[in-house]
Amino acid sequence: MTLLFVLYMAGLTASAMTGALAAGRRSMDWVGVLIIAAVTALGGGSTRDVLLGHYPLSWVAEPWYLGVTAGAALVTVLVARYLEYLKYTFLFLDAIGLVVSTLIGCDVATQMGQPISIVVLSGMITGCVGGVLRDVLCNQVPLLFSSELYASVSVMVGAIYVGGRELGIDHEVVTVTAVTAGLTLRLLAVRYRWGMPKFVYNKDWF
């Protein structure tokens, strides 16, 4: 549990950093950087909580989460020029964030007694919506809808996690399996540019 929390903080940091970099691409000021970083890192869990009516939101109960995202944003601004040399560390931490926040999202919905489909969806919302909000605030079509496997990794992680529990498998075994499978698939997808098939439609009749 403590390890999972450490991983969650690492993921939160990586996620906030992607937000700060996206803000920098739009030449935003520091206020924009801080806000986009916080929304990217915490927007998925917040959306989940608002949709499920799960109050208080995590950062309202634990305002120091906002300190973590602010710290990550400021560090990003300071070391931005060196970050590309840490590309693989960065992608690895971001993958950890995706996988771990998916598990947390599943746990929240499970504790609320939601059915399996909502539990998996809750994991996906927690893992993926922050990046969507980042892209909407930066006025671009969300990357989630067209780049390498991301939401599908989240769904797979949630399905393994929920399925394993339904089958009565030991919780730690299921968690480790889900995290490992998710990290592996995500990193392979980034490495080999695996994506879902695209749907291209050009007509304009409606």
Note the residues at the interface with a second copy (CB under 8 A): 18, 20-21, 23-33, 35-36, 46, 50-53, 55-57, 60, 63, 66, 77, 80, 84, 87, 90-91, 94, 114-115, 117-118, 121, 132, 136-142, 144-146, 150-152, 195-206
Q: How far is residue 19's CA from residue 5's CA, in Å, rounded to a whole number?
A: 21
* Closer residue to a second copy (CB): 9 or 138: 138
Dihedral angle at the C-alpha atoms of 134, 137, 141, 147, nearest 10 degrees?
A: -10
Minimum distance of a second copy from residue 198's CB (angstroms): 5
Rounded CA separation 123/159 (Å): 9
Nearest approach, Cβ of 152 to a second copy (angstroms)?
A: 6
Pick 2 or 202: Cβ nearer a second copy: 202
Asked if residue 126 lies in contact with residue 104, where contact means CB atoms within 8 angstroms, the answer is: yes
CB of 197 to a second copy, least distance (A): 6
- Residue closer to a second copy, measured from CB, 53 or 168: 53
Largest CA distance in the chain: 54
Q: Which of 8, 180, 16 is nearest to 83 (CA)?
A: 16
End-to-end CA gap in the chain: 51
Q: Which is nearer to a second copy, 57 or 188 (CB)?
A: 57
